[in-house]
Every structure is written in C-alpha cells, then in structure tokens.
C-alpha cells in the first residue's frame, strides 16, 4: 500500500503548488485544457494595468519594453522545449501559427504537394492544413493516416509532415525524434504541435532536429484563457524566413513605415500585428513558476501520479477502460478513460468537485499537472470516480444536458 502522506511530504513540487491560487474543495484535473492560475499573475496584471498602462500610457512601449515582450516570453518557453535562443516567438493563436508555418514550409518544398498528418489529430490542425491546401490552389492536398502508417506515407510527393506530439483525446505520444528523422530521410519538413507537451514534460526540439513547431500558452504553461501561443523555426530556416501574414510588426523596421514589406531578420518575421500586452504579461508572469523547475523531475512525478490514478481506477471502477498507452514513453501526462456515458459521468464528477473534461465520443479526460497536484488529491479523485461508478450516481437526466463548451 502506497503511503500517500509520505509521497506528499517528500514531494519537491509542494513548493510550486504554493505558487498557485486554487479554490478550496476542488481537485483540478483539467490543466491540460486550461492551466490553473499562478498567484504571480494577479499582481502582474494589476501592475501592468494600473502602472504600465494607466500611468505609463503609450510611453510603456519603450519604458516597459512592451515591444519586445513576444521575444522575451519566447525565451522562457524556449528553455522548456529545447529550442535554441531566438528561435521562438510568442504570437497569435496556435491555429494562426500553424497557418504561418505550414505555408512557410510548403514554399520551401516546391514541387511537392502533399501534407501528411495523423487521423484523429486535434481538428484545427487538419482544418488549417485543408484550408492552406485549398488557398494555395496548386494541387496541394492533405493526407490523413493512422499513427502506424506515418513513416510509410512519406513518399517523394510529400512536402510536410504535420503532427501533434501528444494526442488530445487519448494522450498517446508520437516518437518525435524517430519520425522527424524518417521525414528528413524522405526530404520532408516537419511541423510539431506541442499544445499537450510544452510545460508537461521535457521536449527537445533541437535534439530531434525538428523544422517548425507551434503550441499554446493556456494549457500546461498556465497563461490564462486565450493566452497567446508560440511558434518555433529551426536555426537553419531563420535566414530569409518568409511567412504569409506579412503584418507590419514582422517588418524589418516597422517604425520606418516603409511602403513595401521587408521581413525582419530571424524569428521576428513570425510577428504579425500588435502583441496583446495584457495577456502576454499574464503568460510571462505565469512562466515564472517554471524557474528552477527540473522538467525531468516534473515528468517523474507525473508518471507516479499516472500509476496511482490508474491503479486506483482499475480497482475501484474496473468498467472504465484506459485509452492512454500505459508505457511512459508512449504517452503524455493525461489519463483518458472510456465509458459510453462519459459525458454524464464527468458532469457528476464536476458536481462533486473533481474537474476533468469530456471528449467525443466516450472519453473522460484527466490532466495530471505535478506543479500543483498532490498525491492525496489524485487518490481522492479516483475514489470519488469509483463512488460515482459504483452507485450509478451519474445516471441522471441533468448530467446529460450538453453545455455550449464541453
């Protein structure tokens, strides 16, 4: 029998938990969709609004260096995902950044028309890819394949391999280094969506030699609802980097107000318009939580939480099927369980203070975020899930009414 109190007492992440503001009576297992609120964000937002904006007014673009905030916040994220300095920019949403890097990559592979991606990837990736193929109107097409067929799909007509490292629904993780190497052998450029990776475990973009990457700021990075996203380009692509959204802040000299567009050098060319200073400041403050954090240790704790939760669920709710691979190398840090009435089960859990989420058609999703979750909470969440299943408490009409956002 695991001694939960001993695990929590010895937990090095008790320190980071104290950096978050979490409501009493809630066990929050949805940090894979919207990260919890770091305390430092409240103070930073108050300061940015009252002092930087309220008093500094437009002078703060210089006095508080708002103009370079996207690159500065990018440096904080770079460390978490193995990106070299000045290869990362915080900007826009993941969807918009996908558009930018996809067009950029396709232009680097003239004569090849196919974008390969995984079936069952988060919809925006496939939607953007199909939209780009249609927009370019040069015979481009999106080819969706199963995970097991990706390598075989890398023929000489393929320009880009667009993959999400960790699947949003199942939590299954692809082999970034292996697939990137296979793509390189086939002359194919890679784009990695790191939405469910960045801040969850160590990612090594440089080691994998990936070409481009994108990811969002509001999940494991805790930047808040609608936080800006990030975009990465490998050093070899920085010279002459051209992306299609040629907005004024991606210009080499935006304040020359020149008549024609000339891209900024390096990753600065990924900028488009005015950065959202308020939400970027929130993300910047949120990332302070990661100062001094060893991502390997973070992952090790996530693995222990995973084992604890899945062992307890196996014992207490054996009818729930684990949809996430149990082998650590083949998964991210979420737990996905299948049940035909998953939506109602999740509503019953939320009413009992355990917040996870539901994904179509039958997935209960639980995000394990070691920065602010204790072993005791994860065990208690499994017990509450066990009670909901054993008593059939989920089987009530009010739990079956779908909300606008699920």
Ligand X SMILES: Cc1ncc(COP(=O)(O)O)c(C=O)c1O
Ligand Y SMILES: Nc1c(O)cccc1C(=O)C[C@H](N)C(=O)O
Of ligand Y, ligand X, none, which one sits near residue 405, judging by CB under 5 to 8 A according to partner kind? ligand Y
Cβ atoms of residues 187 and 209 within 8 Å: no
Give the angle subtended at the CA of 288 by the CAs of 58 and 230, to the nearest 5°: 70
Active site residue 330: no
CA-CA-CA-CA torsion sign (257, 263, 268, 274): positive
Q: Do residues 321 and 342 make contact, with C-beta atoms less than 8 angstroms apart?
A: no
Q: Is 246 annotated as a binding residue?
A: no
Q: Which is nearer to ligand Y, 101 or 183 (CB)?
A: 101
Range 193-222, binding ligand X (CB under 6 A): 193, 195-196, 216
Do 101 and 231 meet the contact criterion of CB atoms below 8 Å apart? yes
Judged by CB under 6 A, which of 16, 94, 180, 190 binds ligand X? 94
Distances (CA, A) of 255 to 67, 73, 117, 252, 273: 11, 22, 39, 9, 13
**By CB under 6 A, residue 121 contacts ligand Y:** no
Residue 311 catalytic? no
Return d(Cα 195, Cα 217) in angstroms, integer. 8
Strands (DSSP E) along 139-253, which ranges? Answer: 141-145, 158-164, 189-193, 212-215, 230-233
Interaction between residue 164 and ligand Y (CB under 6 A): no
Residue 303 annotated as catalytic: no
Q: Is 168 in the site for ligand X (CB under 6 A)?
A: yes
Whichever of 195 and 355 has its CB closer to ligand Y, that residue is 195
Evaluate whether 321 touches 337 at the Cβ level (below 8 Å).
yes
Rule CB under 6 A: is residue 164 a binding residue for ligand X? yes
β-strand pairing of 20-21 with 37-38: antiparallel
266 vs 332, beta carbon nearer ligand X: 332
Chain centre to alpha carbon of residue 251: 28
Q: Which of 169, 219, 331, 359 is catalytic?
A: 219
Residue 358 near ligand X by CB under 6 A: no
Q: Using the rule CB under 6 A, is 405 a contact of ligand Y?
A: yes
Q: Is 365 noted as a catalytic residue in this protein?
A: yes
Q: Is 274 annotated as ligand-binding?
A: yes
Does 184 bind ligand X (CB under 6 A)? Our answer is no
Residues near 304 by Cβ (< 8 Å), separated by ≥ 6? 7, 375
Q: Binding residue for ligand X (CB under 6 A) from 86, 95, 184, 246?
A: 95
Look up 343 and say whether it is catalytic: no
Q: Which of 122, 212, 232, 306 does the annotation list as catalytic?
A: 122
The reply, when asked if residue 290 is annotated as ligand binding, is no
- Which residue positions form the known binding site for pyridoxal 5'-phosphate? 94-95, 122-125, 164, 193, 196, 218, 248, 274
Binding footprint of ligand X on the chain (CB under 6 A): 93-95, 122, 124-125, 164, 168, 193, 195-196, 216, 229
Residues forming the active site: 122, 193, 218-219, 365
């Amino acid at each position: 029998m695991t001694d939960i109190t001993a695990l929590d007492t010895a937990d090095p992440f008790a320190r980071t938990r104290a950096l978050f503001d979490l409501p009493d009576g809630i066990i929050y297992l949805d940090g894979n969709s919207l990260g919890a609120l770091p305390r430092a964000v409240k103070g930073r937002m108050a300061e940015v609004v009252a002092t930087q904006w309220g008093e500094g007014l437009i002078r703060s673009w210089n006095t508080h260096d708002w103009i370079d905030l996207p690159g500065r916040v990018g440096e904080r994220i770079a460390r978490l995902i193995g990106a070299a300095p000045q290869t990362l920019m915080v900007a826009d949403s993941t969807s918009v950044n996908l558009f930018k890097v996809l067009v950029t990559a396709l232009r680097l592979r003239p004569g090849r028309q196919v974008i390969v991606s995984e079936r069952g990837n988060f919809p925006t990736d496939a939607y953007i890819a199909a939209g780009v193929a249609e927009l370019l109107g040069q015979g481009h097409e999106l080819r969706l394949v199963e995970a097991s067929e990706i390598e075989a799909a890398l023929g000489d007509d393929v320009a880009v391999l667009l993959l999400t490292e960790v699947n949003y629904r199942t939590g299954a993780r692809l082999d970034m280094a292996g697939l990137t190497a296979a793509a390189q052998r086939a002359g194919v450029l890679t784009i990695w969506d790191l939405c469910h990776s960045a801040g969850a475990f160590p990612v090594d973009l440089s080691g994998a030699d990936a070409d481009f990457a994108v990811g969002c700021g509001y999940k494991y990075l805790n930047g808040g609802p609608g936080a800006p996203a990030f975009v990465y380009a490998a050093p070899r692509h920085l010279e002459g980097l051209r992306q299609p959204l040629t907005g004024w802040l991606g210009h080499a000299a935006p304040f020359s107000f020149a008549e024609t567009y000339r891209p900024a050098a390096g990753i600065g060319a990924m900028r488009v318009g005015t950065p959202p200073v308020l939400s970027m400041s929130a993300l910047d403050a949120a990332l302070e939580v990661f100062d001094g954090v060893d991502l390997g240790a973070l992952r090790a704790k996530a693995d222990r939480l995973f084992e604890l939760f899945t062992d307890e669920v196996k014992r207490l709710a054996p009818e729930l099927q684990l949809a996430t691979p149990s082998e650590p190398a083949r998964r991210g840090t979420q737990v996905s369980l299948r049940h035909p009435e998953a939506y109602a089960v999740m509503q019953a859990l939320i009413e009992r203070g355990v917040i996870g989420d539901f994904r179509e058609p039958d997935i209960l999703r639980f995000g394990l975020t070691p920065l602010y979750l204790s072993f005791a909470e994860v065990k208690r969440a499994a017990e509450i899930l066990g009670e909901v299943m054993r008593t059939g408490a989920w089987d009530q009409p009010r739990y079956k009414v779908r909300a606008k956002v699920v």
